[in-house]
Amino acid sequence: MSELNPAILLFEDGRIFQGNAFGHTGETTGEVCFNTGMSGYQEILTDPSYCKQIVTMTAPHIGNYGVNPEDIESERVQVAGFVIKEETAVPSNWRSTQSIGEYLDAHKIVGIQNVDTRAITRHLRDQGAMNGIISSVDLNIDSLKEKLVKVPSMAGLDLAKEVTTDSSFEWSKNGSTGNYKVAAIDFGIKHNILRLLESHGCDVTVFPANTSADDILKFDPDGVFLSNGPGDPAAVTYGIEMVKQLVGKKPIFGICLGHQILALALGAATFKLKFGHRGINHPVRNEDNGVVEISSQNHGFVVDPESLPKNVVQTHVNLNDNTNAGIRCDDMNAFSVQYHPESSPGPHDSRYLFQQFADLMNSH
Active site members:
256, 340, 342
185/74 Cα distance (integer angstroms): 15
> What ranges in 237-290 are assigned the alpha helix state H?
237-246, 257-265
Positive or negative, the Cα torsion across 316, 320, 322, 323?
negative
Q: At residue 345, what is the residue type?
A: P
Q: At residue 142, what is the residue type?
A: D
List the strands of the sheet with 202-208, edge to edge.
169-170, 202-208, 180-186, 223-226, 252-255, 334-337, 324-329, 313-318, 270-286, 292-303
108/314 Cα distance (integer angstroms): 42
Peptide bond between residue 345 and the one before it cis (omega within 30 degrees of 0): yes
- The angle subtended at Cα 32 by Cα 29 and Cα 33, nearest 5°, is 150
262/16 Cα distance (integer angstroms): 39
